[in-house]
Structure 1
Amino acid sequence: MGNQEHFRVWRGDDETGDFVDYDVEVNEGEVVLDIIHRIQATQAPDLAVRWNCKAGKCGSCSAEINGRPRLLCMTRMSTLPPGEPIVVTPMRTFPVIRDLVTDVSFNYEKAREVRAFVPPEGVAPGDYRMQQVDVERSQEFRKCIECFLCQDTCHVLRDHEENKPAFAGPRFLMRVAELDMHPLDAAAEQGLNRKEAAQDEHGLGFCNITKCCSEVCPEHIKITDNALIPLKERVVDLKFDPLIRRKKRARRA
């Protein structure tokens, strides 16, 4: 027989909702998603929650636990304060569909705005060759499972709905940084400057590097330190370095 814990789960839709209290059994080794499933099975069969792999690799079960963006399947009950109510809410940054399920289509719209990898001219797919040393910096970013917890916690999006049209968020700025670091990306040869795009199209200037995105990443990607800050540095060089500006003026002359 396990312990009894008190859960407060947000129930509702995009128009109205409130917290509903559940007292539920918790057994050793369980994660929050286990308890949400138990609530579904025993008390609230209509409780909506999105999940898939239950292994921290699909990114589906993103929510907020005691106010912190987390994966339900990777948050062990033993890590939460004992004897205190456990509050589970949907991600605050995105519109609620129902209960713990949010509409994350904003992220897919932003993904489409990032222009894809441009293969080098004259090199066929399958013939790309890179050294490990060339990809070590950006390889970390490929661990992203697109749980969108970084998007959820980013205060530029979370607290300012009006920023969403102009700001892609940390996940997609990281994608731009990855492409800009890619040793074979030939975007510049096709007239696409990824650094300028980061600033002018994806809102890099909105990011003030608080590192909250890195703190919630379940894959422990150092989004701010390894992607966003280096990208900002390259943008500053491009726009404000006096030698680069002088070269640009010389080309135009």
Structure 2
Amino acid sequence: MTHTAHFKVWRGDAEGGGLADYDIEVNEGEVVLDIIHRLQATQAPDLAVRWNCKAGKCGSCSAEINGRPRLLCMTRMSVFDPAETVTVTPMRAFPVMRDLVTDVSFNYTKAREVPAFVPPPELEPGEYRMMQEDVGRSQEFRKCIECFLCQDTCHVVRDHEENKPAFAGPRFLMRVAELDMHPLDAAAESGLDRKRTAQEEHGLGYCNITKCCTEVCPENIKITDNALIPLKERAADRKYDPLVWLGNKIRRRGE
């Protein structure tokens, strides 16, 4: 069963561009990436798009479809009315390189700013032991495929370019949260306070938990509820809870 769909696809580069109109055949069971590939094969051979696995696991084909950040390979054409115009544009939060390809190097810069896992000094590799419950907590965050849709939809990054130097974004605050709740991470013993750095260096306070990052995550990670809110609570306890403050004072005095 086939029908003809009307597509609007953003064409251009860093200097500017606009939406180009295409009428294209759609077959049953296809996804938006199939249509983009057909456009490349039949009407727009120079159309640039980033993709790799076509299975929702590499995170490469991130774009915006009718204004919503999505993976092209995981968005079925059946969700659109046959008479509906499907508009495909590059991720808005990042600079356009060409057509649907954006420069996401901002995210790799932020990734390098998050200190890595600190192994416990008293244990050798292979001696690590964790409760299954603790494994499950962090395993959810390890499902991330680095599609950066959460980064794209976060209005702190999307609508305020000036925030980028001070704000890591939900993907990397989630990484900080994962490490902070890891029972074997020895960051505190090495002098690294992940809750303090989350607040002061990675911009945790900019996040106002609207859950837009959770809504677009293709892996259904509960970024806000399971990572960002608990991290905010722990950061607030560290900074404002009088009992925690007193305990830190006593601890420091005894050292």
What is the TM-score normalised by the length of structure 2?
0.97
Instruction: Specify whether residues 139 and 101 from structure 1 end up closer, same or farther in structure 2 by C-alpha distance, changes over 3 A only.
Output: same
> Which consecutive residues of structure 2, in runs of 5 or more, have no partner in the other structure?
none
> Any conservation in 1 of the 2:31–2:73 contact (CA below 8 Å)?
yes
Q: Deviation string for 1:82-107 (max 9, x for gaps)? A: 31110000000000000000000000
Q: Which residue of 1 aligns with 2:183?
A: 183
Q: Deviation string for 1:63-122 (max 9, x for gaps)? A: 000000000000000012331110000000000000000000000000000000000003
Instruction: Specify whether residues 151 and 100 from structure 1 end up closer, same or farther in structure 2 by C-alpha distance, changes over 3 A only.
Output: same
For residues 235 and 252 of structure 2, the distance between their equivalents in structure 1, rounded to whole angstroms, comes to 20
> Any conservation in 2 of the 1:114–1:176 contact (CA below 8 Å)?
yes
Amino acid in the other structure paired with 1:61: C
Matched, 1:22 2:19: no
SS of the residue 1:46 aligns to: coil
The Cα of 1:139 is off from its aligned counterpart by 1.3
Q: Which residue of 2 aligns with 1:213?
A: 213
Amino acid in the other structure paired with 1:95: P
Amino acid in the other structure paired with 2:72: L
For residues 117 and 252 of structure 2, the distance between their equivalents in structure 1, rounded to whole angstroms, comes to 28
Matched, 1:115 2:126: no
For residues 66 and 114 of structure 2, the distance between their equivalents in structure 1, rounded to whole angstroms, comes to 33
Q: Which residue of 1 aligns with 2:133?
A: 133
The Cα of 1:250 is off from its aligned counterpart by 3.7
Q: Which residue of 2 aligns with 1:159?
A: 159
Q: Which residue of 2 aligns with 1:103?
A: 103
Write out aligned runs for 1:163-242 (5 A).
163-242=163-242
> Any conservation in 1 of the 2:4–2:82 contact (CA below 8 Å)?
no
For residues 201 and 87 of structure 2, the distance between their equivalents in structure 1, rounded to whole angstroms, comes to 37
The Cα of 1:125 is off from its aligned counterpart by 1.7
Instruction: Specify whether residues 82 and 46 from structure 1 end up closer, same or farther in structure 2 by C-alpha distance, changes over 3 A only.
Output: same
For residues 223 and 180 of structure 2, the distance between their equivalents in structure 1, rounded to whole angstroms, comes to 15
For residues 82 and 148 of structure 1, the distance between their equivalents in structure 2, rounded to whole angstroms, comes to 29
Identity of aligned residues (%): 79
> Any conservation in 2 of the 1:135–1:183 contact (CA below 8 Å)?
no
> Any conservation in 2 of the 1:6–1:86 contact (CA below 8 Å)?
yes
What is the TM-score normalised by the length of structure 1?
0.98
The Cα of 1:246 is off from its aligned counterpart by 1.9
> Which consecutive residues of structure 1, in runs of 5 or more, have no partner in the other structure?
none
Amino acid in the other structure paired with 1:123: L
For residues 100 and 195 of structure 2, the distance between their equivalents in structure 1, rounded to whole angstroms, comes to 36
For residues 238 and 185 of structure 1, the distance between their equivalents in structure 2, rounded to whole angstroms, comes to 18
The Cα of 1:217 is off from its aligned counterpart by 0.2
Q: Deviation string for 1:2-50 (max 9, x for gaps)? A: 2000000000001110111000000000000000000000000000000
Q: How many residues align?
A: 253
Instruction: Specify whether residues 252 and 142 from structure 1 end up closer, same or farther in structure 2 by C-alpha distance, changes over 3 A only.
Output: closer
Aligned alpha-carbon RMSD (Å): 1.0
For residues 63 and 36 of structure 2, the distance between their equivalents in structure 1, rounded to whole angstroms, comes to 12
